[in-house]
Amino acid sequence: MKKGFSWYKPWHGWIFLIPTLIGLFVFRIGPIIFAFFMSFTDWNIMLQPTWIGLDNYKELFTDPNFYQILLNTFEFSLIYVTGTMVFGLLLAVLVNSKIKGIKFFRTAYFTPVVTSAVAVGIIWSWILSPKYGLLNVILEKWFGVTPPSWLGDAKWALPTVAFVQTWKMMGYYMIIYLAGLQNIPSHLYEAARIDGASKFQSFWRITLPLLSPTTFFAFTIAIIDSFRNFEIIYTMTQGGPQYASTTLVYSVYVNAFVFYRMGYASAVAYVLLGVVGLITWINFLLKKYWVQRIY
């Protein structure tokens, strides 16, 4: 058996990785590095970029709208992360049963995840429309309540868009939690039942703690995912009214592809990267305090 694979050296593995590494560099790392340098320039694509040092960042931090955009971004993330995790878990608990036909519901709840964000945005725009929109017709005719213009009112635009995005993605977190739930040994529940624990106590003392690795994963993913909200905003409100639903991602798009200010847009993108990176880092730091391992 000596002849086998003994002539392979350890570093040969790297050769097989080359195609992936090239792809990773050209399409991901390369642009990230390029954008870093771009953020210190003024570039409108047509002319040569001019180096302006920290001017883009200075402009960013003195722009009165920037703080609203930052706040909007956090508000969106808060609603999204809370919503997807709570409802994701709820749906997972609901579909984690062996009733006949439960697979239909799993598929149904997951379908919005794989539906185009533009399609979701258009349909929800209609549902939430003050004139002829399904929701407002129901609220007015059946409940006699005059609802606001969900997407047109400065107070409601952002929560509404965050809600729609949450609705769209909760099926994804349902799947994550479902996997986590099914990994919990059932004998624990049986033992608890024998000891007289209620359903609620079982959930609180067994399910949730043992789900903590899953919750950590879902939480990390949800935070990163919450910043990817361009399509839904573009379709439903275009950042309006008046920056009320503009987030960092939307600002990057508008500055890069409508105003052709590549340098400035890169600076905004790097602020976004910094924010996401910071939150994720804090998340990992705090991990040891609440994530338990299942042995």
Partner 1 sequence: MKKLALLLLLIAFSVALIAETVTLEYWMWDPSIKDKVEKAIAKFEETHPNIKVNLTVMEPKNYWPKMRTLAFTKKLPDVFNMSSGYLEEWAKNKFLLDLTNYVENDLDKDKFFFNLFEAGKRISGTDRYYAIPFALVVTVLYYNKDAFDEAGIPYPDENWTWDDFLDAAKRLTKDKDGDGEIDQWGFWFYGRYAHVESWIYANGGRLINRETMRFEPDENALEALKFLVSLVKEHKVAPMPKEMKGIRQQDVFPRGLAAMWVDGSWNIENNRKIIGDKFRWGIAPVPVGPHGSKDVAYGWPDFVAISATTKHPKEAWEFAKFIAGEGLTLDMYMAGKIPSYKALTMSEEFDEVGKQPVEKGKVLRELASRKLLNSFTMGWSEWRGYGAAESMGLNGLIDAVLNGEMAFDEMLDQAYKNVNRVLKRYYK
Binding footprint of partner 1 on the chain (CB under 8 A): 44-48, 65, 125-126, 128-133, 149-154, 234, 237-246, 253-254, 257-260
Q: Tell the smallest beta-carbon distance from residue 78 to partner 1 (Å).
A: 22
Q: Which is nearer to partner 1, 56 or 207 (CB)?
A: 56
Q: Tell the smallest beta-carbon distance from residue 77 to partner 1 (Å).
A: 20
Omega within 30 of 0 (cis) for the link into 130:
no
CA angle 152, 158, 160 (to 5 degrees): 75
Q: Which is nearer to partner 1, 209 or 241 (CB)?
A: 241
Q: Tell the smallest beta-carbon distance from residue 251 to partner 1 (Å).
A: 9
Q: Which is nearer to partner 1, 149 or 202 (CB)?
A: 149
Instruction: Output the six-digit token pair for 235.
Output: 């379709």
Which residues fall within 8 angstroms of residue 85, CB to CB, at 6 or more apart? 173, 215, 218, 219, 222
Q: Which is nearer to partner 1, 42 or 283 (CB)?
A: 42
Q: Tell the smallest beta-carbon distance from residue 144 to partner 1 (Å).
A: 12
Q: Would you say 229 and 250 are in contact if contact means Cβ atoms under 8 Å apart? A: yes
The partner residues of 42 in beta bridges, in order of sequence, read 50
Q: Which is nearer to partner 1, 93 or 154 (CB)?
A: 154
* Closest among 171, 173, 174 to 93, alpha carbons compared: 174
Please tell me the distance from the alpha carbon of residue 262 to that of residue 257, in angstroms, as a whole number.
8
Q: Tell the smallest beta-carbon distance from residue 269 to partner 1 (Å).
A: 16
